Structure 1
């Protein structure tokens, strides 16, 4: 019997909502030195403007 278990971290979706921008793709910069960079239209560097990141646990495979 071959059973698979959905990843508990991402609920079997393979990706997680970006913790840096909360899915908005806007950079969450709190340091004054980066404000010029944000005004130039930069997007979130953590998720590369996708709004989500690949699950660390299942690496996007949706099963753990």
Structure 2
């Protein structure tokens, strides 16, 4: 017995892209699976050592 494709709305894809961009990731490609999963491939910008140390100091 075959599975039906899940309908994914354009709004759901736009929300997913927006969330990824707000997280600071540059969107490179998007794929929508028959199961309804939205797969977004992207690149994170390089981080400096100083930017990585700051969050640790905020907790101390």
Structure with more helix by fraction? 2
Scaled to the shorter chain, the TM-score interval is under 0.3
Higher relative contact order (CA 8 A, sep 6+): 1
Q: TM-score, normalised by structure 1?
A: 0.23
Structure with more strand by fraction? 2
